Amino acid sequence: MSQAPLPLLLMGPMVRRADKNEVCIQFATSTPLNCTIELKQYNSYCEHESVCLGERLFLHYVILKPIEHEFPLDTLISYRLFNGENEIALNEFCYPNKNTPEFAIPSTLTHILHGSCRNPHHPAKDSLVAANHFVQAKRSDNEIGADILLLSGDQVYADDVAGAMLIAITRLIDVLGIYQEQPLDIELPEDIQQQLYQRHLYLPKVPWQQRNKIGVGYWLKKDVPHFSSLKADNHLVFFQEFIALYLLNFSPVVWQLVDFESINYQASSPKCQDIFDNEKAALLAFKTGLNDTQVLFANVPSYMMFDDHDVTDDWNLTAGWEQVIYQHPVSRRIVNNGLISYWLFQGIGNDAGNKSFSLLAPFKQSFAADEQWQFKTFDKTLLEFNHWHYELNTVPKVVVLDTRTHRWRNEQNFNEPSGLLDWERLTELEDSLLTHEQVIIVSPAPVFGVKSIEAIQALFNICGQPLLVDVENWMAHEGSAKKLLDTFRRDDTPKETLILSGDVHYSFCFSVQKRFGKHPNRIWQLTASGIKNEFPRKLINILDKLDSILYAPKSPLNFFTKRWQMEVDKHQTKGEGQKYLVSDAAISLIELENGKLARYQLIHTDNRTTEFDLEQN
């Protein structure tokens, strides 16, 4: 294990929750620190929590709270990081002509950056780089730029890992001495080279003998993999791997520690070799862009929510999936490893530890005397935690939904898709919307999606294959769809609701109004996906035309959808090549005036912009 001197800062600082009463900043270091953060011209005190994740890996959370008055709003606040009395240089995290990073606490939201689906080895460039260019240009004009950055799912891809990334993960574990978990009953080859693109063969399966004799699979003697991802060849397994993946997704520093350029692989076939080489080339470009993304995270408050790929594809999609996974010790361990790592790197920052710190003591108690994690007891506490969702005290209010761990299960057929929220959470959502003129809802999956695609998903579901096409739309479950639409049809819900979603790897803008009733409410479905991912463009163009033909405003097919009492208008892009669905990697920029949507743009990886026509009917 390497003992060479390491950089002090391994990741961050990242500005997370920021409001007038508290600010959370998280970062990782190679040595234990007695950390404080000072705000220029504003008196505050610090609460510091740290987690030792390895011999040379310490994750820190500094919670800043005002001493006399509330923190100022809509004003850039400069901050400095100290270890005891020694200042830690943050020059690499500053915008040009600035001596320190700065952030602002918004009162009324006017500019929101939002996106999802950031796959490091996808050939598209990283749109967070373009987001940083946007903020940098605004800061040079003495403007704040973006009030907040909202990431609505798939910040990491634990189930879709490049071969070169898996080798980098293994190297980083050794360099930082990341603590490992108790041995699992899975017989992977010892040599990581032999594991590449082969891990899916060793993951748990349902033996064909246990399958239903009615199906073809039983008679073909075909086992069913527990993990349904089509790209599970390098699926992460161990807790230490999830930790290393997060560091490699958020920090340029750690890439130098693994000597990524020297990573190679001698594949058994030209096809597999091409896959490895192409993935490595994409990762080299991703690594270069991380210098920009770390500046963005250090200067703009960022909020996150998990979706399936943060843990594994089809996470909790059906009750049958849950039953198979959580009853198997290895599969349950893999899923829980994904959830624990999300909590550490994403979840705690969302609420500044107000509820998420309740997991900290039992987590630390899971570290055994032999320097291994023993998570058996902690898993129960983790799965009982009910506060992954959160709200922002802004104007408009922001309500971020957890659509993964509180599903409305189909009790008649465990293989039917679950509702994205159960009755209790839908009732809480309803209460959150009341008495507000405008509200922003963050739902990882679109509430109002593309009807033709949902129809195709419904067809696969009828054929008993909901996992094959990710039947994870809100309308796939009768009970949750009805409850949600009934909420939107109420007369005392907001006059304007913005729903920010991702997941689907293409972007669009729909506006929705109820057909009956006097309450003049409008719902905007703004979907931005992906930051570094794309839907096949030829296919999305076909589906776009199909949807326009089959589900035109006067089409009788609209009466067969669950939302026929809601009038859904699709908005085209402006300029040449107008289209409803955009498959071009981007992050969205949402501009508000007096809490209402004024402009919706996509900022692409080459700094081009695509704007949707909000006036179109």
Q: What is the 3-state secondary structure (H, E, C) of 153-174?
A: CCCCCCCCCCHHHHHHHHHHHH
As a whole number of Å, the end-to-end CA separation of the chain is: 63
Position 553 pLDDT exceeds 70? no
pLDDT in tens, 148-169: 999 999 999 999 999 999 999 9
Predicted local confidence at residue 561, as pLDDT = 63
Q: Give the contacts of 529 (CB within 8 A, at least 6 positions apart).
A: 115, 116, 117, 501, 502, 503, 504, 505, 506, 507
Nearest residue to 524 (alpha-carbon basis) of 456, 426, 616 = 616
pLDDT in tens, 121-130: 999 999 999 9
Q: What's the rounded Cα separation, in Å, for the pair 62 and 47? A: 6
- The residue ranges of every structural domain in the chain are 390-617
Continuous H helices in 418-472: 423-433, 451-462
Cβ–Cβ < 8 Å for 447, 119: no
What is the average pLDDT score of the chain? 91
What single-letter amino acid sits at 97? N
Q: Give the contacts of 87 (CB within 8 A, at least 6 positions apart).
A: 80, 81
Q: What's the rounded Cα separation, in Å, for the pair 28 and 180? A: 18
Cβ–Cβ < 8 Å for 357, 17: no
Q: What's the rounded Cα separation, in Å, for the pair 228 and 159? A: 9
pLDDT in tens, 88-103: 999 999 999 999 999 9
Long-range Cβ pairs for the range 571-575 (8 Å, 24+): 571/508, 571/509, 571/510, 571/511, 571/612, 571/613, 571/614, 571/616, 572/612, 572/613, 572/616, 573/610, 573/611, 573/612, 573/613, 574/610, 574/611, 574/612, 574/613, 575/611
Please, which pLDDT band fits residue 369 given cuts at 50, 70 and 90? confident
Q: What's the rounded Cα separation, in Å, for the pair 364 and 53? A: 10
Position 611 pLDDT exceeds 60? yes
Tally of CA atoms within 13 A in the half-sphere of 66 that contains its CB: 15
265, 324, 406, 408, 426 from 412: Cα distances, Å: 48, 17, 18, 12, 21
Cβ–Cβ < 8 Å for 234, 166: yes
Q: What's the rounded Cα separation, in Å, for the pair 455 and 444? A: 20
Nearest residue to 41 (alpha-carbon basis) of 80, 9, 2 = 80
pLDDT in tens, 450-481: 877 776 665 655 555 555 545 567 876 778 88
Q: How much is the average pLDDT of 38-61?
A: 96
Predicted local confidence at residue 390, as pLDDT = 98
Beta strands (DSSP E) in 273-316 are: 302-304
pLDDT in tens, 8-43: 999 999 999 999 999 999 999 999 999 999 999 899
Give ∠ CA 143-145-151 in degrees, rounded to 5.
Answer: 160
- Percent of the chain exceeding pLDDT 90 equals 76
Predicted local confidence at residue 1, as pLDDT = 42
* Number of other residues whose CB lies within 10 A of the CB of residue 552: 10
Residues present in the chain in total: 617
Predicted local confidence at residue 222, as pLDDT = 75
